[in-house]
Structure 1
């Protein structure tokens, strides 16, 4: 660690409260709500909780990426290109919607399925790419533990370990667990925006005299090149994700599942979807198995 440390402090915190979303699902939305519409390049962060038959049935996307990271249970994804799969606890799906995807995300098991879904904006030059996926099973996500700190490197780098995930919008996504009494110093590129989302336990973030924060809080980090975190508990682990990304600095026009740079591009996205053209051709005759009523829970 360089001696020239500029510590990032928490400049804003939000408690993500439950709200309804999809078809009977519950999410705790932190980015993408009225207090924080956009945190360049991040469009949305949901901590979701869903039990069958609720879920996220057939819906479109254009112009950004969705990152789904499972915390508990399993979700089955399928799209109009014929891509289908199930991600389970600890698994990752990094989907580049690009010019257009219609897909569904539904529970694949009994009980409550929990996870995080992050939307990352794409620059104008990448918005109309062909869709693509990067999927990692839990066993394939690099995990390192040192001095009471364990990290799962979903994207970017931590503790000398890099993720194989390619990020068109440069991004770091790290899942940290701190044992009681442990302390973390994690570098973050100085020009990037970054935030923390708390999952389990209580932690002290930014400065050692800050008040401890409990789960379901979004913490926006100010400028600097290092974030520090302390678990001052004597008996409980602290778990959170640290996410950072290079700001795009471009105009953002969002309407529901479409995110473009201008109103005209949004109108075009709606026309393309409604008329099943320009990337949405296969939407005309496609319906997911879940909507067809073929799933039995």
Structure 2
């Protein structure tokens, strides 16, 4: 496939989040992808950015979706009721398939102020009752590919012949792209992937329109949803300053979505069933450090 045949992506919409100052222990919070707009983000449900001390995200349940938690700073302590325990550092990621019944805790370790980005990734109806699983991806486990005047860290998907380690039940791509001032780079994505980005640092322009985004900018990206995944598309990126961006993409599921607290199902009846199962003990014992 020649480069000229590729679909050229542009910024579709962009915004800057409003941060809620919650006080101790949930110091600051924002929805970078607001859940009320989830139809636009399919297969993604929401992206939350949080700064918190210990005592915010203790034992809690999930069903019907996946999470991808990226540690920006601090140490994140994970505990689940299947006996799992880990501490994640800056640049580490935890992938969780909640499946039919996850119960876990995500706390700041000791006296840290933890800063995280947590993505909720939907599951199709056929996979909502799958077994719960967790995968820790350490910073050093995510391969880094050098490009001219920068580099790409690949958490999920394949780029420049290198595959990321994330084993998502619903395949997605996730890359962290760092560019030096003046660098130009063309990011290649499957044409039928819905995609969005979040600016971690600096200033970049995107697409032929050269739409400029600074730190904390969020944007959705145009795509061709009627094409199969074998066709490629490209997004032109130029760094106005030393800058870093996260780019996520995935194939839309196109199913009805019902949101209810910690659960993502297809109907309100299934949400009520999940709450009843929690009360009946189906989710198992609390996630408590042994």
TM over 0.5: yes
| Aligned residue pair count | 280
Find out whether 1:260 has 2:265 as its counterpart: yes
Give the Cα separation in 2 of the matches to 1:192 and 1:177: 22
Partner residue, 2:71 = 70
Find out whether 1:177 has 2:182 as its counterpart: no
SS at match of 2:45: strand
The 3 A distance-change label for structure 1 pair 109 and 208 is farther
Counterpart of 1:232 (choices 229, 240, 257) is 240
Preserved contact between residue 38 and residue 46 of structure 2 (Cα < 8 Å): no
Partner residue, 2:227 = none
Alpha-carbon shift at residue 76 of structure 1 (Å): 0.1
Partner residue, 1:44 = 46
Counterpart of 2:30 (choices 28, 31, 50) is 28
Instruction: Flag structure 1 segments of 5+ consecutive residues without an equivalent.
Output: none
Alpha-carbon shift at residue 116 of structure 1 (Å): 1.4
Q: Deviations over 1:181-235 (max 9, x none)?
A: 101111111111001111100111122543x2111111000125111111123xx
Preserved contact between residue 100 and residue 131 of structure 2 (Cα < 8 Å): yes
Preserved contact between residue 75 and residue 90 of structure 2 (Cα < 8 Å): yes
Of residues 146-155 and 28-37 in structure 1, the stretch that sits farther from structure 2 once superposed is 28-37
Give the Cα separation in 2 of the matches to 1:46 and 1:13: 16
Give the Cα separation in 2 of the matches to 1:275 and 1:61: 15
Alpha-carbon shift at residue 86 of structure 1 (Å): 0.7
Alpha-carbon shift at residue 169 of structure 1 (Å): 1.3
Preserved contact between residue 71 and residue 89 of structure 2 (Cα < 8 Å): yes
What root-mean-square deviation, in Å, do the aligned CA atoms of Structure 1 and Structure 2 show?
A: 2.0
SS at match of 1:248: coil
Preserved contact between residue 9 and residue 222 of structure 1 (Cα < 8 Å): yes
The 3 A distance-change label for structure 1 pair 288 and 23 is farther
Preserved contact between residue 77 and residue 86 of structure 1 (Cα < 8 Å): yes
Give the Cα separation in 2 of the matches to 1:128 and 1:21: 37
TM-score normalised per structure 1? 0.88
Output aligned runs, 1:194-273, within 5 Å.
194-207=195-208, 209-210=210-211, 212-223=212-223, 225-233=233-241, 237-273=242-278
Give the Cα separation in 2 of the matches to 1:25 and 1:101: 26
Alpha-carbon shift at residue 58 of structure 1 (Å): 1.6
Instruction: Flag structure 2 segments of 5+ consecutive residues without an equivalent.
Output: 225-232
Find out whether 1:191 has 2:199 as its counterpart: no
TM-score normalised per structure 2? 0.90
Alpha-carbon shift at residue 129 of structure 1 (Å): 0.8
